[in-house]
Each structure stands twice: as structure tokens, then as C-alpha cells.
Amino acid sequence: MSRTTEKGVEILFFCSAFFSAFLTLALFGFMLTLGLPLFAEGRFFSILIQPWAPHLGHFGIHPMIAGTLAISLLSMVFAFPLSLGCAILISVTSKGWTSRLLRKAVEMMTGIPTVIYGFVGIFLLVPLVREFFAAGSGMCVLTASLMLTLLVSPTMILFFCDSFERVPVSYGTAVLAVGGTEMQRFLHVTLPHSWPGILIGFTLAIGRALGDTLIALMIAGNAVQAPGSILDSARTLTAHIALVFAADFESLEFKAIFACGMFLYLLTTLLVMAVRLLGCKRKRWAR
Amino acid sequence: MMDKTVKIRTENLCFAYNGRTILRNSSMDFAEGEITAIVGPSGSGKSTFLLILNRLWEAIPRCALQGAVEMHFNGRYQDIYGRNYPVTLLRRQVGMVFQVPNPLPMSIYKNVAFPLQLKGGVAKENVRSRVEECLRKVRLWDEVHDRLHASALDLSGGQQQRLCMARALILRPEVLLLDEPTSALDHAAAKGIEQLLLELKQSCTILLVSHYLDQVSRIADSVVELNNGRLVRKVEYD
Amino acid sequence: MRRVLEQVVVHFSRLCGIILLGAVLTVIGYLFVHGWSSLGLSLIFGATPPLDALLMKRNVFNGLFPAMIGTLSLVVLAVCWAVPAGMAAGIYLAEYAGPKIKAVLNLFFDIMAGLPSIVVGLFGFAAAVFLNRKFSGAIHPCLLISSLALAFLVLPYITRTTQMALEGLPLSARMTALSLGATRLQNIVRVLVPQSLTGIVSGIILAIGRCAEDTAVIMLTGVVASTGVPRSLLSHYEALPFYIYYISAQYTDSEELATGYGAAIILLCICLVLFLLAFAIRKRISYYALYRA
């Protein structure tokens, strides 16, 4: 390969990296430009507080913010202990081939499509919830959170397992050498040393939960009001975007979904920064 | 005595790696057609010094070099750090064998032929004959000629190191740098390598980093010690 | 007291495992129980003879064939855009970028990876609007736009796996070819990338799975419920995951619902097969890249 061809290929590598980064910025730029009419009269902060009632001229996304937070946080309440428990099962409680088999099963679970969870949710879980609680339609925050738990848990479990494995073996052998059990080694050495990794896994899972569209769209009910209880129907920002998309493009209603997009973008950026800060803490911890 | 040409001239070298100074204002000449052993305390930077002679330190982060290195190629002294001197050309003229054998994860044949493929412009028949020539030189041909397409990683440690030498020799380098080439080998394999170096010194200037003083006394023509950042020539051997 | 805590944790972990596995098996089992009866050639090809449908001689009206072709086209196109760009960016980050540039670019790729897929879909839609106004009125949400948006969705995964695979190689692996007179690019292409193929190809296969299952992006960039096999890059198309979503909301009788179950089973099988492929292919590709003499 001649020098000029080599130089050309290297420039191509450079351009790919920078163009991709540029697209990320362009995305935000598009959201901003297309959502601008909505912000024109200084309505920016009112968007975050007002309710959603387009016929009254209210384009607030506050109910959707509440819905997103409610569903995501509730699913994390279920998913975090579940994932931690499963990670402990794979790393500590089970041994040898059972441990490997379980881990393979969890890895395969990460490949299950989201729409499948939504589909089964509608026809299996919703009626169950409706009958069990004898209230509402069954399409509520609780149902969506339960399915979301199944969605985010496998990745979180794998992340926790990797965090446990990264703790140097030498730390734990001291416990075993004085007659401690594997569980004692885990509780006294591995767990305290992997907290930064656990927090990172938790943050990444929250990001996944906040960003999900289909599950909330299909089984959370989509009522445009902030949920008062876990049996209330709710709408997430993501589902809102999908639903309002059917409206007329020129209307202010439509522009509001770009505001949702921007809000989600900023939320993602915050979470990424949080993960980075925790990552720095993990490096310091390791030393 | 002998009036040999100086093959390598280093002047006022200052080299630091990761904040640690390896060389302080050190100069040394290396004569052509000789085996020069480089000895010194553990961790003094002998291996790193070799990396200066083929500019391989540039692939390592957090290194800094000052000073000049010249080598005698094509009838005159070339500044190997000069802007116009292609580093790829230098590395074809200066071969290197590492302490731990590092065959590429390819077949035996492809390993030895690899430098020719990188250089390009060598006909297939020539490649085949050169590979055989080099494998014979390192006494590996008889052991591997019937399994040239087997993985190089299946060879024993001694065989792998001889393979790496064949690979370094296929470009017919004028200078050969060896970093403790026998430290990972057993006694018999080590003797084989030493024998090979004695045969090679007629066509090659050889610099050998070694911890084994008996090895040094067996094959080295001159000895240089790296201590405290300085290169010092020790007693000349006959 | 300590012993009690340990016993509790052990039992808790077992309980969690049972709950998770039980839940997932229930989901999958429910699908199979209700969809099993609908599986068959008529699910895919409707009333049209399979051979005619495959050779594109006749249209399929009541089958999943158009949706399957739509999903296949999406995946192939998205991978064509994303793999070269993603690998190139990953190589740049691992081999050429200085520490400050690397930190900034890594931040952008992390954000890209964390974006909700519906926001990526919105980006695709906005880009289509932009192109429509600036260039040609013929450009509207279609197969091309969807594949580009999906490529944007999976690009960070491919870049990251390439970058991590290359950075994971030890220093000695990097120096070997350089010491033999290789240029930087020769080193990367002939030695470093072949040695990292395991990780890179796994990343690509997982990206394929992501493209096959995604619904949010395609909802905003051109997928429709019924239009037949995509005629060109600029036409609307159908896709399996969208079909499943659409049926769940709009089914009119139990037969239609059964096709939804059938489609769900097919999609699940496709994704799981791709996943298993990730393990099977990895080692074979590394072998062929390195050992052919």
C-alpha cells in the first residue's frame, strides 16, 4: 500500500469517528430547531410544569415526566434486589456447571425482544393484575414496571457478575485461609469492593428503563395525568412521542414531542456523566 | 588490532520512560561484525536501550528521547532519527528478537514470510526459497519442513525462539538486537542459539542483552555495561 | 447471628433465580402455547404458493412474508452502514486518538449508546424532514431512512466493541509487527484486527439482533402495517416487530391474534438464533483470518 493510500485510509478512520460524534450533536440541534416554536414565547419552564391539554393550549409534559419517573423507579425497586440476588446466585451460591449454565441462560435473556414482553404483558399480565387487585383496567404503572423489570434485569445481572469477578482473588483468599465460607468471603470482601461497579450497573439500568418505549406504550395505559398510585394508568415521555406522532406536523402539539426528545437527551447526558464520575471513583477505589 | 568500522554511533543520549531516567548524556560506539554484550543491574534499562536503536520506543506512551543515533548503511552514516529516514526502512535493516518468544498466531511458514509480505514486491517463489534458507540457518528446517502450515503456537519454547530469529533474519538485517534471547530456554536450546550467533556475526552486527556472564564470556567480542544511566565499555576480549 | 444472615442471603439468591427464570419461562411458554397452532407455511405465505412468493411472482396478502423481508432488508442495510463506519471509528479511537480527544469522543459515543431508541427515531424523522425541504420532495420516511437511523442506533455498540477489543491487546502484540518493518496501518490491518476479531464479530452479531427487534425507531421512520414487500429503498415497508405491536392493538378476531403470537414466536427464534450464532462464529472467523497460509 502506497503512502498516499495509507494516509487516505487513516483520514477515513478519523472522519468516521468525528462524523459520528457530530451526528450526536446534530441530533440535539434538530430537536432544538424543530421544537423552537414551542419555546418562542418564553414558555420553556412552563412546559415542565403544565399538564397536557392541547385544546386548551397547554403543552406541558409534566404528567409524562411523572409517569416516566414512576414506572422507571418502581421497576428499579423490583429489579435491583432481583438482579443482585441472581448475580449472587451465579457468582457465589452455585458452582461449576450450574453456575455456567445459569450465566448462559441470563446471556440469552438479553436477546429477547422488547415487543415480546409488551405483547405477553397485554394478554397475560394485565388481566392478572386486573383480577388480583379488583380495580382499574390492569393497564397501569405496576404492570409496566413488572415487565420492565424482566427487561432490564439480565444486563444488570451480567454487569454485577463482572464487577464481582474484578475484585482481585488475593483479597478474598485471606478469608478462606482462616476457615471462612464462600458466602462470608462474598459478604465481607467482594461486595464492599464492588460497590462502584454495582452503582454503575444500576445507573445504566435506570437509563435503559427510562428509555424504553414499547412496554410503557403497550401496557401502562397512556392516560395523560400524573399517576397517583401504582394502579393508575400513566404515560411516559417515550410513549407520548409515539402517540403524538400521529398528529398534524405543523401543530404545536407535534412540536412538543421535540421538547420531549430534548428532555430525554439531557437526561441521558446526565446519566452518562454520573456513570463517568462513578467510574473515576472505581479507579481510585481499586488503588 | 582490528580496525573495524563503527556501525552504530550514539551521542549524548538522554532517555526517560514514565518519569524514570534510563540514560543520562551517554555516548557509545558499536563496531561492525562484532557481538557486543550489554550487561548491567536488573532494571537498569538495558532492554529499553535496544528499543532506541530501532525506534520501537515510539510505540510506547510516556517516553522521551534526546540525542543522536547514527548508523553506517550504504557506505555512509545515516541519522536514523532524521525526518527523511523512513522508520519502516530502519526496522528492516535492524532486526530484533525479544526476550519472550512472540510468534504471530499464524502458521510457521506465514510467520517467517511475514516481513517479506509487509515489505511487498517479492515474488512468491523467492519467498518460498528465502523462508527455507532462514529456517535452515536457525536449524529449524529439519524439525518443521513437513508441517509448515501448522500453527507456530504449537512449537516448543526453544523452537519458537528460533522461529522468531528466522523471522528477524529473513530481511537480511545488517544489525541484530537480541534481548536476553535464551532466558526463557533450556540449556540445549540456549547453546543452539549461541552457536547461531557466532555464525551470524560475519554478516551482522550483533547487540546482545544478557544476564548470563558465562554466556557473555563465551561469545561476546566486547562488553558494554549500562549502570546508573551511563554506558561504559568494559575489558575488551580477544 | 452471622450465620443466619448468610443463610438468608443464600436462600434469597436462590429465590431470585427461581423468580427470574420462572417469569421468563412463563413469558416464552405462554407465547408457544398460544401461538403453536398458528405456525405453518400459511402463517408466512398466506394463500399464495410459497415458491411463487419467494420468487416474487405473486404478492402475499395474508402472511408474514413481507414483514420478514422488510425486517431482513432493514438489518442488512443497517449493518452495511454501521459496520464500516463503526469499525473505522473504533480503530481511530483505539490506535490514533490522543488522550484528550479520546475522552471527548468517548463521551459522545456513550451518550449515543444511552439515547432512548425513540429519540433516535425522532432524529431519523427530523432528518427526513430536513432532507425533504432542502433537497428533494421525494424523500420521506422510508426503508433507507429507517436503515440509516438503525445504523445510528447500533453504531456505538460496534465502535465500543472494536475499541475495547483492540485496546485489550497486550503491548507485545503491538510491537511484534512494528519491529519487522510494518507501518502503523499494516500493523492494524494485518495483525491487530485479526487478533481482535472475536470481540468485534460478537459486537456485530449483537448489533444485528438489536436491529431485528427494534420497534421504536422504525415506527417513526417509515414502517407501515401493510404494504407488501418493499419495492425500493425509498418505499414504505413492513417489519415483524411492528406487526406484533400493531396486531396487539388492532386485532379484530382470534385468528388475527393467533398470527400475532406466531409472529412473536418467529421473531423470538430469529433473535435467539442470532445470539447462538455469536458464539459459534467467533472462533471460526479468527481461525480463517490467521491461519490460511
What is the rounded distance in angstroms from the CA atom of residue A147 to the CA atom of residue C251? 22
Mean model confidence pLDDT for chain C: 87
Nearest chain A CA: its distance from C172 CA (Å)? 23
CATH code for the structural domain at A53-286:
1.10.3720.10
pLDDT at C166 over 80: yes
Q: Does A270 touch chain C (CB under 8 A)?
A: no
Q: Does C100 touch chain B (CB under 8 A)?
A: no
Which residue in B215, B169, B213 sits closest to B191, CA to CA?
B215
Which residue in C247, C269, C259, C244 sits closest to C39, CA to CA?
C259
A156-196 pLDDT per residue, tens: 998 899 888 888 888 888 888 888 888 888 888 888 888 88
Residue B119 and residue C291: Cβ atoms within 8 Å? no
Residue B105 and residue C290: Cβ atoms within 8 Å? yes
B21 C-beta neighbours (distance < 10 Å), count: 13
| Residue from the list C174, C180, C186 with its beta carbon closest to the beta carbon of B59 | C174
C147 found inside a domain:
yes
The pLDDT score that the predictor gives to residue C227 is 84
- Are B185 and B195 in contact by the 8 Å Cβ rule? The answer is no
B37 C-beta neighbours (distance < 10 Å), count: 26
C226 found inside a domain:
yes
CB interface of B with C, residues 75-94, below 8 Å: 88-89, 91-92
For residue C15, list chain A residues with Cβ-Cβ distance below 8 A. 85
What is the bridge-based pairing of β-strands B175-179 and B230-233?
unpaired
The pLDDT score that the predictor gives to residue C285 is 62
Mean pLDDT (whole number) for B99-125 = 90
C136 or B174, higher pLDDT: B174
| Residue from the list B96, B100, B107 with its beta carbon closest to the beta carbon of C179 | B96
pLDDT at C291 over 60: no
pLDDT at B236 over 70: no
> A271 — phi, psi (to 5°)?
-65, -40
Query: Which residue range is the domain that position C131 belongs to?
Result: 63-291
A100-151 pLDDT per residue, tens: 999 889 988 988 999 999 999 999 999 999 888 887 788 889 999 999 999 9
pLDDT at A250 over 80: no
pLDDT at A287 over 70: no
C123 found inside a domain:
yes
Grid cell, residue C175, equals 510491537
Which residue in A27, A29, A25, A31 sits closest to A259, CA to CA?
A31
Q: Does C183 touch chain B (CB under 8 A)?
A: yes
Looking at the 3D structure of chain C, how many domains does it have?
1
Q: Does A11 touch chain C (CB under 8 A)?
A: no
Mean pLDDT (whole number) for C38-56 = 77
* Confidence tier at A84 by pLDDT (50, 70, 90): very high
- Per cent of chain A over pLDDT 90 is 37
What is the bridge-based pairing of β-strands B35-39 and B94-97?
unpaired
List subunits contacting chain B, requiring 3 or more Cβ pairs under 8 Å.
Answer: C
Least confident of B2-11, C68-77, C147-156: B2-11
- Are A220 and A143 in contact by the 8 Å Cβ rule? The answer is yes
What is the rounded distance in angstroms from the CA atom of residue A114 to the CA atom of residue A274? 26
- Tell me the CATH number at C234: 1.10.3720.10
Residues 6 or more apart whose Cβ sits within 8 Å of residue C85: A16, A19, A20, C151, C155
Look up the CATH superfamily of B6-102+171-233. P-loop containing nucleotide triphosphate hydrolases (3.40.50.300)
C38 found inside a domain:
no
Map out the domains of chain B as residue ranges.
6-102+171-233
Torsion of CA C190, C191, C196, C200, to 10 degrees: -10
Least confident of A35-44, B37-46, B199-208, C161-170: A35-44
Residues 6 or more apart whose Cβ sits within 8 Å of residue C225: C238, C242, C243, C246, C250
The pLDDT score that the predictor gives to residue A114 is 92
C111-123 pLDDT per residue, tens: 999 999 999 999 9
Q: Does C289 touch chain B (CB under 8 A)?
A: no
Grid cell, residue A284, equals 481510585
Residue B54 and residue C290: Cβ atoms within 8 Å? no
| Closest-CA residue of chain A to C163 | A17
The pLDDT score that the predictor gives to residue C244 is 93
Sheet holding B35-39, edge to edge: B94-97, B175-179, B205-209, B35-39, B222-227, B230-233
- Per cent of chain C over pLDDT 70 is 95
Map out the domains of chain A as residue ranges.
53-286
Chain A to chain C, count of Cβ pairs less than 8 Å apart? Answer: 232
| Closest-CA residue of chain C to B109 | C293
Q: What is the pTM of this model?
A: 0.86
Mean pLDDT (whole number) for C79-107 = 93
C56 found inside a domain:
no
In the block, residue with C-alpha cell 456447571 = A97
